[in-house]
Amino acid sequence: MKIIKRNGSEVGFDINKIIVAITKANEAVDERNRMTSVQINRIAESVVLTCEQLGRSPSVEEVQDMVEHQIMAHGAFEVAKAYITYRYTRSLIRQSNTTDDKILSLIECTNEEAKQENSNKNPVINSTMRDYMAGEVSKDLTSRLLLPPDIVEAHNEGIIHFHDADYFAQRMHNCDLVNLEDMLNNGTVITGTLIERPHSFSTACNIATQIIAQVASNQYGGQSISLAHLAPFVQVSRDRILKNVREENAEAGVEMTDEQIRKIVERRLKLEIRKGVQTIQYQVVTLLTTNGQAPFVTVFMYLGEAKNEQEKKDLALIIEEVLRQRHQGVKNEKGIWVTPAFPKLIYVLEEDNINKDAPYYYLTELAAMCTAKRLVPDYISEKKMKELKEGNCFPVMGCRSNLSPWKDENGEYKFYGRFNQGVVTINLVDVALSSEGDMDKFWKIFDERLDLCYRALMCRHERLKGTLSDAAPILWQYGACARLKKGETIDKLLYGGYSTISLGYAGLCECVRYMTGKSHTDPEATPFALDIMRYMNDACTKWKKETNIGFGIYGTPLESTTYKFAKCLQKRFGVIEGVTDKGYITNSYHVHVTEDINAFDKLAFEAQFQDLSTGGAISYVEVPDMQNNIEAVLQIIRFIYDNIMYAELNTKSDYCQVCGYDGEIEILEQDGKLVWTCPQCGNQDQDKMNVARRTCGYIGTEFWNQGRTQEIKERVLHL
């Protein structure tokens, strides 16, 4: 069994340290109040047993809480008082060097929390380590100076989660929709160099990847680009190639028919499209931005964005090439084709591609094949999105963060160039447990926690106010989000709903189970779950009216925080069956991963919650290997089109570099810890295997903490 130290490193569990600590406290009290050595050993053994039952590595603080509880259970209150005093004294000493200690553990690569904090970051790499070190300083400044103490305490206790505190000191925002159309057509500036309108499709792709890298280095969330913004440059290349072919023929004295020339032009054009798409895929995968990971970029594929029929056909050529290259994958260090994490792909289902007789149905078939093998693309239903977004269809920012419709001064809807200010998540399970099942008390505590979230979100908003456009020229001056003047603040972009700010939520499933005794899929409990969603929406509506800021509720994609929340709940309320007995809590409104439900019922059920999650949400179904059953994938895709705005299929895509096994890498429990293991050769070296799993709406490939790993292990199939 292991234990997690305060600096995040993981070491072997030593019962003798517990015995020594209790003994010291025991010796500090009057002899008549002391415990016997037998009692001390029993306390230590009880703590060990409790830790083993957790099914994960406990933290030092958790173990010390257990010791306190056991000492008091034995009636040794004076010893307990001495033990608590000792803990408090040591805590005061540690407060002066906690940040130093954490930074040193990062440098020495012993910080287990950092290793598993982000499934797409490798903390051993210098750029990642540098980002984490800066993040520790930012978190320290944030907790000591920038946030009110009650918000810091609520964050530490897992009552709320103040996302991305490691970037808060730097006045950075979360996600955005890059206005690639403006930047390509009207030019941009990258590191002081003017980039003019490209004269070919391949050049446009190259510029796009440079923009992606620059944007990723100036914010901390996801970004989305649309292939429709690249489509006009296909015609630019076509015209250039046509001119070249005619010149070549004239020089060679060769006469060709228009049809012969057209075929040559289209053949060369497809080759250029292939190279351009390859540039995007390989540069995104191989780029390391300043935060030590590949840019978190989403590529949007929507035929409906084309401005005319020829542009739609050209856009279809690009989409086809993107899907074919993603289906193939990228080569790992062994030269084997594997699944990359990025770019994330979103494919829009629409009348032109959803039915077999539709002109672009072949793209949907190709998308289904790609999903079955590489987990992407995800799917947006144009029909359902238009119902919910005032007749509009547009991409999410990153993995799910969604904008509300907004019109400019000319009454035109605008989506590209907009962004999200940040997220604060409420732990709904904690609200329920704090109410002790009393419904009146539940709503009262809910109000208090929502007020806490509101004040935390306003801290985010106020932190961004006054930010000069000079802080990130690519974002604020050169078109990605705006074209402000040098020295101008971004303040006007923070109001009126132009940008959003998100009230995240997590654990609706466990919250409802505790309050009603039933799953939120139970018809008797579903109305309560929907009431909770409406209550958060009403709060956001109220805040928006009071502040003129674009509040919205957001189905939080918990990654490492799912584990943190679970540990905090167990610490505060103990282990409660069906509520706190896991190393994770459920993302947003999702059906619990262990619940037996078929794919179609799950999507239909979750659609009603997705409709209410106005700031963003995504649903998924867990499926087995579907590469030989593409028709079943297409059935799910058609169901998505008719029933839910945004959904995806989760499958597995693994490879063992030791023996060449390309089936599912298993998760086994060893010595109280979950370990990824090749079922063919037994390889457990994570550096010698490629594992891709979708955990939060996006794919992770750098492995996960124990809580998230347990959640992945316990997922049931929906087909």
Residues tagged active-site? 174-175, 397, 399, 401, 420, 554, 559, 697
CA atoms within 13 A on the CB side of 504: 27
Judged on CB neighbours under 10 Å (0-12, 13-18, 19+), 268 is: middle
Which of 334, 333, 335, 330 has its CA nearest to residue 373? 330
Paired with 669 in beta bridges are 674
| Distance (Å) of CA 258 to CA 242, 264, 265 | 10, 10, 10
Both structure tokens of 387: 């119902």
Cα separation of 299 and 297, whole Å?
7
Both structure tokens of 230: 């690249």
Helices (H), 548-582: 561-573
Both structure tokens of 612: 């209410």
Judged on CB neighbours under 10 Å (0-12, 13-18, 19+), 628 is: exposed
Cα separation of 58 and 567, whole Å?
8
Tokens 């509506």 correspond to 541
- Cβ neighbors of 38 (< 8 A, separation 6 or more) are none
CB 359 within 8 A of CB 309: no
Cα separation of 444 and 454, whole Å?
15
CB 366 within 8 A of CB 335: no
Kind of pairing between the strands at 673-677 and 689-694 = unpaired
User: Helix, strand or coil for residue 552?
Assistant: strand
Both structure tokens of 334: 């062994």
Cα separation of 193 and 269, whole Å?
29
Helices (H), 335-420: 361-374, 382-388
What is 641-710 written as a DSSP string? HHH-SEEEEE--EEEETTT---SPPEEEEETTEEEEE-TTT----GGGEEEEEESSSSEE-S---HHHHH
Judged on CB neighbours under 10 Å (0-12, 13-18, 19+), 581 is: middle
Which of 447, 595, 448 has its CA nearest to residue 519? 595
Which of 564, 507, 427, 697 has its CA nearest to residue 113? 564
